[in-house]
Amino acid sequence: MPVDRLKDSIRAEIEKLRRTGILKPPERIITGFIPTDEIEGSRFLLEGERNRKFLRMNSNNYLGLAQHPKLIEAEREASEELGVNPGAVRFIDGTTKYHKKLEEKLANFHYKESAKIFNCAYMANLGVALSLVNKMTYVISDELNHNSIARAIRIAGVSSENKAIYQHNDVDGLRRALENIPDKIERTIIIFDGVFSMRGDYAPLKEIVKLAREHDKRFKDGVTTIIDDSHGTAAFGVTGRGTLEVTGEYGVDVITSTLGKAFGAEGGYAAACKEIIEIIRQKADTYIYSNPISPGTANAGISAVDIVNGEEGKKMLARLSENSEYFRKGIRDIGLETIPGIHPIIPVLIRDTNKVKNMVLELYKMGILVTGLTTPVVPSGDETIRIQISAVHTKDDLDYALNKFKEIKE
Ligand SMILES: Cc1ncc(COP(=O)(O)O)c(C=O)c1O
């Protein structure tokens, strides 16, 4: 049977992944959620762990909005009104008033003319690339960009002569890449993460936008800058406007982001000028040929944007920022190394694969969920335990985790 030979090949492939150390373990199953009280932040229950409660320090739910009663209520209300599924893709009457309203809110949130929702940010990046890249396009990308960007560049069919990758956040490298673009190129795109998810550092927007403007006139369609601020949106900056707010540089042309991290809902989107969003609507396969998020999810997204725009959101963001600073300082005070920064992603650099694995396991035994990043996911020597801070972590939670880090450090 042909499928038997295929199975053999797949088994060999999986064995190879295991030997190279990149085989993913079985997924843990979350079976329960215990809301926060004054002292203890929220806790999770896991399958096979009976009533043991786990503190999550590996979640993108930076503001705790995923469990916010207003989002839950918004999702319920819209689902009761219109059903739990849009019924078709956007062009075939799958567009509800909730999708439209959410797009308006997201455009306003990012100070852009227009926005388009995708099922997730991964699909948004693919869609943007499919809409903006043609044969005469040159794409420049940061080496540490998210997988969805690297994949989008490939899927959009950018040839090796028409792309360049600069070293992480290396402005001189970007300048050189721009200078080396052949004159026949008509359209140049610089694409980069806002916040880099493995490190918690962020792109030098002022310098990138300045370089883009300097080279703009050389190309028929100029130089367009695209930021994926999935980890910055609603998690970074006093009002949650992300890396643009933190750097004070709002001149980035296209923003892609997710509703599935700090906004606590689900889905992705692109925000830009009307023309770019219209060509996305016309040409982005991942938008055109795929069902949108449900009306309920869209309404949860609307509620999330409203909360972040209001006083409650500002308080949450302030608390997130305080918590992040407190934990980062705590990690340094106990003699562990981290990358300087202000984002709630806090990489604790251990620089040894076995140590990372053992520490992650020890923390798990102590009821703390963290992420170990080892080779080949990160370069050898950069092995890290990645912590993600949330506004719903209490001081007690942070102290508990810091004490446990101290205990297992040696
Ligand atoms: C920078 C970046 N872009 C895109 C994504 C994908 O987001 P989504 O889950 O909405 O597809 C992620 C999530 O891991 C990310 O970190």
Domain containing residue 59: CATH number = 3.90.1150.10
Same domain, yes or no: 37 and 104: no
261 an active-site residue?
A: yes
Backbone region of residue 367 per phi and psi (left: phi > 0; alpha: psi in -120 to 50; beta: other values): left
Q: Are residues 295 and 320 in the same domain?
A: no
- Cβ(388) – ligand 1 distance below 6 Å: no
Kindly state if the Cβ of 286 falls inside 6 Å of ligand 1.
no
21: in domain: yes
Q: What are phi and psi of 313, to 5 degrees?
A: -60, -45
Contacts of 399 (CB under 8 A, 6+ apart): 330
Q: How far apart are CA 43 and CA 33, in angstroms?
A: 6
Closest-lying ligand 1 atom to the alpha carbon of residue 122:
11
What is the CATH classification number for the domain harbouring 115?
Answer: 3.40.640.10
Answer whether residue 387 is part of any domain: yes
Does 231 qualify as catalytic in the annotation? yes
Catalytic residue among 110, 231, 393, 404: 231
Gap between the Cα atoms of 78 and 98, Å rounded? 8
What spacing in Å lies between the alpha carbon of 10 and ligand 1's midpoint?
Answer: 27
Summarised one tens digit per residue, pLDDT across range 369-385 is 999 998 877 888 999 99
Beta bridge partners of 327: none
Check whether residue 30 and residue 75 sit in a common domain: no
409 is known as an active-site residue: no
Q: Report whether residue 266 contacts ligand 1, using a CB cutoff of 6 Å.
A: no
Q: Is the dihedral angle over the CA atoms 241, 326, 323, 368 positive or is it negative? A: positive
Same domain, 148 and 126: yes
> What DSSP string runs through 50-87?
TT--BEE-B-S-TTSGGG-HHHHHHHHHHHHHH-SS-S
SS3 of 129, please? helix
Please tell me whether residues 137 and 87 are part of one structural domain: yes
Same domain, 305 and 320: no
- Top mutation candidate among 146, 286, 371 for ligand 1, by most atoms within 8 Å of CB: 146
**Residue 224 domain flag:** yes
Q: Per-residue pLDDT tens for 252-304?
A: 999 999 999 999 999 999 999 999 999 999 999 999 999 999 999 999 999 99
In a shared domain, residues 339 and 376: yes
- Distance from Cα 242 to the centre of ligand 1, integer Å: 14
What is the number of the ligand 1 atom nearest to the C-alpha of 146?
Answer: 1
- For residue 114, pLDDT over 80 is answered with yes
- Boundaries of domain holding 73: 69-309
Ligand 1 pocket test: pick from 59, 258, 373 the residue with the most ligand atoms within 8 Å of its Cβ: 258
User: pLDDT confidence of 188, banded at 50, 70, 90?
Assistant: very high
Name the pLDDT band for 21 (thresholds 50, 70, 90): confident
Residues 150, 166: one domain? Answer: yes
